[in-house]
Amino acid sequence: MPDLSGEADYWETTMRTMMTVLLVCVVLASTSAAAWAADAEAPAATPPAGEASAKPEAPAFEMPRSLALLGACLGAALAAVGGGYCIARIGMSCIEATARQPEAGGQMFAPMIITAAMVEGATLFAVVVCMLSLF
């Protein structure tokens, strides 16, 4: 049985890094939300009677909006990373197949390009949907 301890360590390190990055994103999003909420809740000076207010009041901060922003950004990032990973795997598989059977390399090129284009289209669609959720 092959020794897979090195591969397991790699995946464990990768998952730990991804969890750390996710935790940092959540902490930054929650910290900025609290700061914006504090600015929105600051009491406004009332103008003297009979005078109109010179500047309009700022709208109150909405937590769901910041979570939608965070979700859209994370969704777009995951879609881009997933699409890049899939295209890399497609290219790797084509190169491995060509290395095993060099005479079939020309026959594998067209399906590889078509598959990569379909993955790229799905990735672009996912990123556009994430960006449209901001509006």
Class of domain 62-135: mainly alpha
Q: What are 40-99's pLDDT values in tens digits?
A: 555 555 555 655 555 556 556 667 777 888 888 888 899 999 999 999 999 999 999 999
Nearest alpha-carbon partner for 32 in 79, 69, 72, 78: 69
Distance (Å, whole) CA 29 – CA 64: 12
Q: What pLDDT was estimated at residue 133?
A: 79
Contact 61, 126 (CB under 8 A): no
pLDDT at 115 over 80: yes
pTM value > 0.85:
no
Contact 52, 70 (CB under 8 A): no
Residue type, 21: V
End-to-end CA distance of the chain: 54
Count the neighbouring beta carbons within 10 Å of the beta carbon of residue 69: 15
Distance (Å, whole) CA 41 – CA 26: 23
Domain ranges of the chain: 1-41, 62-135
Confidence of residue 124 (pLDDT cuts 50, 70, 90): very high
Place of tokens 């009677």: 49
